[in-house]
A and B are shown apart, each in its own frame.
Chain A
Amino acid sequence: MIYLDYSATTPVDKRVLDTFNKVCLEYPGNSNSLHSLGVKSKELEEYVTTKIADILKVKPIEIIYTSCSSESNNTAIKGICLKYKNRGKHIITTSLEHSSVIAPLNYLTKQGFEVDFVNLKEDGTVDLEHLKSLMRDDTILVSISYVDSELGIVQPINEISKIVKKNPKTFFHVDCTQAVGKVNVDLSNIDLASISAHKIYGLKGVALLIKKENIVIEPLIHGGKSTTLYRSGTPALPLYASMMKALELIVPNIDENTKYISKLNKKIIDKLSTYENVYINSTDKSVVNTINISIKGIKPETFLHALEEYEIYVSTKSACSSADTMSNSVYAVTKDKERASNTIRISLSYLTTEEEIDKFLEVFDKCYNHLLLRG
């Protein structure tokens, strides 16, 4: 089996799973209970939260545990907009955002909010001059992903932040789901950040929302203080500990992993660029982990299943968007509907071997020639 869909999700690292199991078995108490079992769990919760904060260079009080990045994105976006709606109802975002950013924004427009989309340059990064021109006195939120899920474009977050922060009433939310573990994320100029465990060899079911200390948001789940006021529910200590472990394992190795993956990336792009009907949609601003291509003349689903016959797994586009429609992200950058309707995403990991890439390229060639010939 050759798995090349690491942007959709990653296999759990055994050490992360071991941490989860250990905490499940050895810390049965609810960390909000007053008895000794509860106190023991509370102590671990505080240790885990402090450790996560250290790795991400934020304060422990700024960490909100959630179930997934979709929840983090919803909590950030609706939380800010519902809390500060009296200050303004204007929001700015991009066409590269995940459905869990676009959907709450769509919801908010039905509550009277207005959303503007900032233009993207040819390389997929935000047009900073256009962003400046869109900023208004009543802009209360700018939500932009650090790295998007389909093209893997790394945005100039610090440059964007400088523009956003010229208006003291505007909050800056960054979806870091595809960035953490792939690039050295700098959260210092961000008000709210979403991070998920399952993209970094952690478990599904746990994520973070980093919210700067001085910001108050309206919670989505009202239920009193648990780990924080902003997300009620019994603390899922084994999941929090597993998230800490996943971050601990991945963050120090980003540079080394990037160096290794970039060789695989180059090998794939060099080879795929030689095919007449293959278009590389990723740009020089994309992370090396993500290669987005279009094959004109072959339906992406057909190609995906042809590769699957050889136990090679890629995706047609972000697993979280509708399978039947064109890629808004690819369209936003290429302005080519055919390319946007025929996208395939190959996503790599430090676990991917050169042998796997050789095999993938060999099978790609076979499927490409066979399917094009068949018409």
Chain B
Amino acid sequence: MKLIKFSALWCPSCLIMNGRINKIINKYNLECVEYDYDVDTDKVDTYKVGDILPVIIIENNNKEIIRIIGEKSDKELDKILEGVIDEKN
């Protein structure tokens, strides 16, 4: 399973979310791919990233299974991912 992260260097919510996203990566043993909102504009278009950052997309066999947009607490993230993906896959 792969976690794709879109963030920007100037974005406070992205900075707040960095640690929380790392927890998810470790908890669910996910491969992580990071894209910069200002640099990787082709990927921003391809993945239809909107105007709220950060955006996390979790894919299984290149198929999107969930998208999380904007700032979420650890609890909210746990709730969103509960039942969607298994710990350590």
Contact = CB atoms under 8 A, between A and B. Distances in A.
B15 A337 contact: no
Given A322-B37, A322-B38, A328 B12 contact: yes
Interface stretch (A97-105, A280-288, A345-353): A97-105
A242 interface: no
A337 B12 contact: no
Best-buried of B10, B14, B16, B18 by chain A (most CB within 10 Å): B10
A126 interface: no
B52 A102 contact: no
Interface in B1-42: 8-16, 18-19, 37-38
Contacts of B52: 325-326, 337, 341
Contacts of A97: 12
Interface string B47-89: 0000111000000000000000010000000000000000000
A109 B18 contact: yes
Interface string A96-120: 0101101101110100001101000
Nearest to B8: A322
A105 B8 contact: no
Nearest to A108: B15
Interface in A313-349: 320-322, 324-326, 328, 331-332, 337, 341
A95 interface: yes
The CB with the most chain B CB atoms within 10 A, among A99, A102, A320, is that of A102
A245 B17 CA distance: 43
Contacts of B8: 322, 325
Contacts of B9: 99, 102-103, 106-107
Interface residues of B, number: 17
A244 to B, nearest CB: 31
Contacts of A324: 51
A375 B38 CA distance: 30
A325 B53 contact: yes
A103 B15 CA distance: 9
B51 A105 contact: no
Contacts of B37: 322, 325
Interface in A147-202: none
Contacts, number: 54
Contacts of B10: 99-100, 102-103, 106, 320-322
A95 B16 CA distance: 9
A337 B38 CA distance: 21
A76 B82 CA distance: 42
A203 to B, nearest CB: 25
Contacts of B18: 106, 109
Nearest to B13: A328
B27 to A, nearest CB: 19
B1 to A, nearest CB: 24
A330 to B, nearest CB: 12
A106 B15 contact: yes
A321 B15 CA distance: 15
Q: Which of A97, A105, A325, A326 has the most CB of B within 10 A?
A: A325
B18 to A, nearest CB: 6
A337 B70 CA distance: 10
B70 A117 contact: no
Contacts of A102: 9-12, 15
Interface string A62-75: 00000000000000
A319 to B, nearest CB: 12
A102 B18 CA distance: 13
A132 to B, nearest CB: 20
Contacts of B19: 114
12 contacts: A93-B12, A95-B12, A95-B13, A102-B9, A102-B11, A105-B15, A106-B18, A117-B15, A320-B10, A322-B38, A326-B52, A341-B52
The 4 closest A-B pairs by CB, nearest first: A99-B10, A103-B9, A95-B12, A328-B12
